Homo-oligomer: A and B are copies of this chain.
C-alpha cells in the first residue's frame, strides 16, 4: 500500500509537531512558559557568537529588525542581557544569562526524553535507521525556523 506523497509530508509534519508540542507543554509545566523555539534558536546563536542584533539577524536569516524584536523579548524575560561594548559604542553586546542557559539545558533534556520515549516504542535500531534515512533525504541543508506563518505560505500543495 503505497502512501501518497502528501501523506508522507503530513507524517513528517505530524512527527515534528508531536515532539514540539509535547516539549512546549513540558517546558511550560516546568515553569518556563512562553518559551518559543525561536527563542531557543536565538539563544544558541548568541552563545555561538552572535553577540549583536545585526549578526543575530544574519545567522537566523532574518532582518536585523526582527532579530531586535526577538532580543527584546528575551531580554524582558531575563534570558539574555546586553551591555555596551567598550570598544565599539554602536554595539550592545549580547550574552545569555544563567537563567537563559538553564532554559536551554532543560529544553535539551525534554527533547531527549521524548526521543527516548520514541526509542522505547520503536526500538533503538529502528529509530536510528529512521534518523539516518531522514538525514539522507534532508541533506545538510540548514533549517530555518523563522518566517511566521511559513507553514501557510510555503506548504505549497496537497497536504
Contacts and interface: CB of A to CB of B under 8 A. Distances in A.
B137 A15 contact: yes
Given A121-B137, A155-B37, A156-B107, A114 B11 contact: no
Interface in A23-77: 23-28, 35-38, 40-41
Interface size of A as a range: 35 or more
This chain: copies in complex? 2
A10 B155 contact: no
Contacts of A135: 11
25 contacts: A2-B128, A4-B108, A5-B108, A5-B110, A5-B114, A6-B108, A7-B131, A9-B19, A9-B23, A12-B13, A14-B134, A17-B143, A18-B141, A21-B154, A23-B157, A23-B159, A27-B156, A36-B152, A36-B153, A37-B157, A111-B159, A118-B137, A130-B133, A146-B152, A151-B151
